[in-house]
Amino acid sequence: MPLEQVLMLLCAAAGAGWVDAVVGGGGLLQLPAIMVTGMPTVEAMATNKFSSVFGTASAAVAYARSAKVDRQVALPGATLAVLSAGLGAWAAASISAEVLRPAVMVVLLAVAAFVTLRPAMGAVPEPHLRTRGRVIAAVATAGAGIAFYDGILGPGTGTFLIIAFTAILGLDFVSASASAKIINIGTNLGALLVFGAQGHVQWALGLGMAVCNVAGAQLGARMALRRGAAFVRVVLLGVVAAMVVRLGWQEFA
């Protein structure tokens, strides 16, 4: 691979790490950058997962140190996510991404409308929403549904997790983002185990990108913790808008 392509991928990995640490959706930047080099789609997805798992874990540590992680949901959700994302990655070979894109676009538009029309959402915790049933629903939604989606397609997984935790449990955006990182470790590991066993990961390139992904993730996590829920909300809406544009371009161009 030419040096200029390697440097481009390292920069993309750093940017993706920052976005992933704040609101998720770093794959929006990193995955297309890998595919521009001509790498086959499945190999690009696999290498993206390998790089991302390091950045996500790094961000999770930063959030955990600030006691922002909801362990009651994040830990069982992450355990379930390993299996669900692995199943999604296994199914990726038989289900076309084109089938899923329209549905994902509709969900993203609904997310954007939901967050825009509820400006107070995620600004402060809403503990009155938390019940045993809602905790179970959050674990199932994150660890099964969203994790399976991450294995089979992926874009916006972290964003979907944040919205789920905010809407179902009433977490503020920072706590939701922190908890999402733990689930995301599980989804990345589950998919990576399958992709790795199938021989799709470009290990050397992925390791170099992982270093840059970690650097971006550390910066993103610290900015989110320092600037709070309002900052996360703005970045969230920006990432959702970018994902809608990208998926729309792929669908209709």
Q: List the domain range (segments joined by +) for residue 62.
A: 3-252
pLDDT at res. 61: 92
pLDDT at res. 146: 95
CA angle, 110 as apex, 75 and 119 as ends, to 5°?
A: 80
Q: What is the CA radius of gyration of the chain?
A: 17
Render each residue's pLDDT in the chain as its tens digit; 253 residues. Answer: 789 999 999 999 999 999 988 888 788 788 888 988 989 888 988 899 999 999 999 999 998 888 778 999 999 999 999 999 999 988 877 776 667 667 777 777 777 777 777 777 777 778 888 899 999 999 999 999 999 988 887 777 888 899 999 999 999 988 999 999 999 999 999 999 998 998 999 999 999 999 999 999 999 999 999 998 788 888 888 888 887 787 778 767 6
- Per-residue exposure over 29-64, b if at least 16 CB sit within 10 Å of its own CB, e if not: bbbebbeeeebeeebbbbbbbbbbbbbbbbbbebbb
In angstroms, rounded to a whole number, what is the distance separating the alpha carbons of residues 102 and 136? 28
Counted domains in the chain: 1
pLDDT at res. 96: 67
